[in-house]
Amino acid sequence: MRLHRNLVFTVIDSLNSIFNEGIYADKAVEAALKRDARWGARDRKFVAETIYEIVRWKRLYTEIAETKEHYSRENLWKIFTVWAVLRGIKLPDWKYFENAPERRIKGRFDQVQAIRKIKESIPDWLDAVGVEELGVKWDKEITALNIQAPVVLRANTLRTTRLGLEKSLNENEIETIVDEKYPDALILKERKNVFRTDAFKSGLFEVQDASSQLVASFLDVKPGMRVVDTCAGAGGKTLHLAALMENKGQIIAMDIYAGKLKELKRRAKRAGAHNITPRLIESTKTIKKLKESADRVLIDAPCSGLGVLKRNPDAKWKLQPEFIDNIRKTQEEILESYSRLVKRGGKMVYATCSILPSENEQQVEKFLENNSDFKLVKENKVSPSESGFDGFYMALLEKS
C-alpha cells in the first residue's frame, strides 16, 4: 500500500478532532469523507477504516509510541507511524517519518501482548469490570469486540424478500452472504456504500446488526396486536416489528427525544410501515395513559453499549464507570415503569446491547422478585465471541 499525503492528513486532522475536541468518531469520519469529492471508493475506505482502527487501538498505539496520552500533532504522527509499521506499510520519505523506530515498534508490540488491558486497548477500569462480571469469558469477549463489525442488512419484508434483495444488490455488484440463523439478514462480503443503491432508496432494507435483528422476533408479535416500543429511538427495531406484524395492528413508538422520532417517521415512510404512531414522552402522564393497554411491550433499555464496541470503538474512551452505575438505576426504574403498560396475559421483552450480567439477567431477577405477576418465559444472551456479531441480551416476560 502506498500512502497518499492528502488522505493521511485527513486522518491526522480527524484524530485531532476526536482525541482533543471530543468529536464522536462517526461524526469525524462523516466530515472527513466530505473533504474531497474526487476521492474514489478505495480512498474513502482508507480514510474511514484508518480513523476507526487508530481510535480502536488508541491505548495500544500510544503505549508503543510512548506518547503518554498527549495528542499533539507530533504525537498523532507517531501514533500513525505505529499503525503503518504494524501493518507492514512502507513509510514514504516525509519529514513526519524521519528516524521512525520501526524495529523498536515491532519489539514493543511483542512485549505488551502479555498485558490484556494494553493488548486489547481498553481502560484499566473497564478491564476490571469485565473480569469481575464475566471472569475467564472476558478474554474471548473483549478480543471479539475489537474485531471490526461486518455490515449486515435486514430485508424489509413489507417491500421484498431476502432473495429479492439479494438479487437487487447483485445487480449493483454488492455480494452478500446468508446465515440461516437470521431469517431476514444479508451480510456484506466487503464494505460498500449501500445507501446510494436504488434498493435502499426504495426501502428494501435497513442496516441492522444480526444480533439486533433477533430482538423484535423475540417479542412474539402477531398482526393486529397493540405493541408499545418504549425506547424506540430512530426506530431500527420498530420497523422490524412493523414488518413482522405485516403492517396490521398498532405500534406506539415512544422516546424522550423528538429528533429521534422525527428520524423514525422518515425511515417508516421509506420502509412503507404504516402502523407506527410516534409518541414523545413529555411526562409520566404519557406512560400512565397506556397502563395495561398493550399486548406486547419492548423495552430496548439504555445501557453501557459494551456489546457494540465493534462498531463504536470510541465508546471505550468516552464511557466512565459512574455512567454504568447510573445506567443500572435507570434500567431498574424503566423496567418498573414500562412493565405497567402490559395487559394481563401480555408479554414484554427487556433488551440491552450490553454483555454485563449486572445490566442484564440480574436486572430481570431483581424485577421478578418485586413483581410476582410476571414470569420469565425465556432469555437469550448473545456472545460476540460465539456469534461474530454484536453482544446482546433479551428476556421475554409474561404477565399472568
Active site includes 353? Answer: yes
The 10 Å Cβ neighbour count of residue 104 is 12
State the Cα–Cα distance between residues 345 and 146, nearest whole angstrom. Answer: 42
The 10 Å Cβ neighbour count of residue 289 is 10
State the Cα–Cα distance between residues 387 and 68, nearest whole angstrom. Answer: 36
Strand order across the beta sheet in which 226-229 lies: 276-280, 250-255, 226-229, 294-300, 342-352, 392-399, 374-382
State the Cα–Cα distance between residues 368 and 185, nearest whole angstrom. Answer: 33
Half-sphere exposure of 254 (CA within 13 A, CB side): 24
Q: Name every residue whose Cβ is closer than 8 Å to that of residue 86 and which is 6 or more positions away in sequence.
A: 105, 106, 109
Block residue for cell numbers 393497554? 293
Strand partners, 348: 297, 397
Of 353, 382, 394, 397, which residue is the catalytic one?
353
Cell numbers for 104: 523498536
Q: What is the DSSP letter of 177?
A: E
For 122-130, the CB contacts below 8 A with 24+ separation are: 122/59, 122/316, 123/59, 123/316, 123/317, 125/321, 126/316, 126/319, 129/321, 129/324, 129/356
| Catalytic positions, written as ranges | 353
